[in-house]
Amino acid sequence: MQLKDVPSHYDRAARWYDAGRSILFDRLLHIEQEREHTIDLLGDLSGARVLDVGVGTGANLPFLVSKVGPSGSVLGVDYSEGMLARASARVESEGYANVELRRGDAVVLEGVEGDFDAVISVWCLGIVHDLQAALARALELLRPGGKLAIMDFRSVRPDRGPLNWFFPLYAPLLRASGIDSREDLDAERYEARWRDARAWLDPRIDVLHEQRYLADTGFILVGEKR
């Protein structure tokens, strides 16, 4: 998604994003549970400095805050002010004292300085306008030995099963929801981006864990910076 399009897609989606996530990703597809699992795969984070790229409404924050503990901290960055407003309301209502939220482009992360102990990104990197540059920046901000955790979709169309058969039916609904841009719903283009990005990433991290979810549509990758 082009950077200029992020606010128009996500500021609007922010109003229903958490409710939609809870119905679709949690109750229907049961993939929300992979979020906590991904964060657990980062191992012991007590006292750690963690960066959440594309923090959105802050769905990772409850798990991250409890894992870093009072001596750790979390920085969440997102380009959508609407999504950040939701995250900020969550921080306030939950009284998270060690969370900072900033507006910024995931590709540039302007003004953000290393060395982070961990960088996490859930369902964001696949849609940023320059995936490889975003990965390079994330790695630059990680200390050597720091952990990178990505949970994302590998493809917009599952390879098999009911979600594959019904793709032609629900693809227009996805488009109509206004959350994904037309280019991000192009299954071939989307898959190729992750294939190239993965080839770029492989020599730069030691893979600690890798798995797929939702009929191989989604993936979780946890690695350690070399």
Choose one: 99-107, 165-173, 192-200, 212-220; the region binding ligand SAM (CB under 6 A): 99-107
Long-range contacts of 173-181 (CB under 8 A, 24+ apart): 177/13, 177/20, 178/9, 178/12, 178/13, 179/9, 179/10, 179/13, 179/17, 180/1, 180/9, 180/127, 180/156, 181/1, 181/2, 181/5, 181/9, 181/127
Residues 132-191 that bind ligand SAM (CB under 6 A): none
Choose one: 43-51, 116-124, 197-205, 209-217; the region binding ligand SAM (CB under 6 A): 116-124
Q: Cα 131 from chain centroid? A: 12
The residue among 142 and 179 lying less far from ligand SAM, judged by its C-beta, is 179
Residues 54-83 that bind ligand SAM (CB under 6 A): 54-56, 59, 78-80, 83
Query: Which residue in the set 68, 101, 106, 139 belongs to the binding site for ligand SAM (CB under 6 A)?
Result: 106
Query: Which residue in the set 50, 51, 105, 223 belongs to the binding site for ligand SAM (CB under 6 A)?
Result: 105
Smallest distance, ligand SAM to C-beta of residue 209, A: 18
The residue among 56 and 146 lying less far from ligand SAM, judged by its C-beta, is 56
Q: How big is the site for ligand SAM, counted in residues (CB under 6 A)?
A: 21
Cβ–Cβ < 8 Å for 67, 42: yes
Q: What are phi and psi for residue 153, nearest 5 degrees?
A: -100, 135
Smallest distance, ligand SAM to C-beta of residue 72, A: 19
Smallest distance, ligand SAM to C-beta of residue 226, A: 25
Name 199's Cβ contacts closer than 8 Å, sequence gap at least 6: none
Cα–Cα distance measured from residue 13 to residue 1, given in angstroms and rounded to the nearest whole number:
15
Query: Which residue in the set 41, 50, 119, 122 belongs to the binding site for ligand SAM (CB under 6 A)?
Result: 122
Using the rule CB under 6 A, is 128 a contact of ligand SAM?
Answer: yes
